[in-house]
Amino acid sequence: MKHSTLQVVATAFALSYAALSFASDKSATVFPAEGNKQCSDYASNSTVMQMSTSSPLVAGTLSGAENPRDADTTGESAAYTVSGGKVAGFSAATTPIDYAILKSSSKISVIIYPSGGVTSDANMRLTVANVDQTISSISLCYALGNLVAPPPPPPPLLTIKSCNIDAFLDATGVSCPTSGDRTLVCNFELDKSFYGLKNGSDSCCVCNSGTLTECDPDVAAGAPNACPDPAAYGKTPTEVTTHIELNNDPYYCQTVSGKRTCYAY
């Protein structure tokens, strides 16, 4: 019978360390080891970095080299505490910690954190046969590059240009009156897919006005990118919406004041 390497390793851990148990508030996985282990024993030596102490105090600070994968450039540090010599914790880490190592004599607890790392943890213990062991060293391991990516920036707001500035829409000339009401002028190319609206060219412009900026009608008035509040312009929301319909049929329709009219082309 064949067994995968992972199964064999897991079985060895279970048989060799059945008497060990571990605890940590924020760990995703905790597994045992033995020997004089370093952070580089569990990740690429050229990538992982560590801050550690082999003489932990009741409270102190761990320091390490600058993580090139985070935003700051001032080196890394974290405050730590050890309660009763057997319960450790750290806080205010200046870079996300990917995993931590607790050592007691030849026994080791490797505490793995969720993707993105953590900047604090508490109740970190190394327990053998239900007895918490005295912690002889603490290592915090970081710089694996699994930082949580920031959300992408919102797409830029679209604008409709002023016809007065550039009186052309897809090489179609637009002549605006020198005075008069604002006029929305649109160019729909009937023989092109999506009526030429998806090829990146300008499809509409507005006469006797500056550019028109995209707004979101689903956002509450006053919030970022909200559309103007009709009440602020002395308008009431009683007028029926005007619709212009374009589809694959060889005609277009418009609905004005509740009346729908279609035109073949």
Residue 97: closest CA among 82, 79, 116, 123: 116
Q: How many CB atoms lie within 10 A of CB 127?
A: 17
Tokens of 97: 């910690």
The CA distance from 137 to 56, in Å, is 6
Amino acid identity of residue 181, one-letter, is D
Burial class (CB in 10 A: 0-12, 13-18, 19+), 27: buried
DSSP string over 4-39: -HHHHHHHHHHHHSTTEEEE-SS-SEEEEEESS--G
Q: How many CB atoms lie within 10 A of CB 49?
A: 21
Phi and psi torsions of 31, nearest 5° = -140, 155
- pLDDT tens per residue, range 81-135: 999 999 999 999 999 999 999 999 889 999 999 988 999 999 999 987 788 899 9
Q: Where are the domains of the chain?
A: 5-142, 151-214
Q: What's the whole-model pTM score?
A: 0.51
**Predicted confidence band of residue 142 (pLDDT cuts 50, 70, 90):** very high
- pLDDT tens per residue, range 209-254: 888 889 988 888 888 888 888 777 777 766 778 899 988 788 989 9
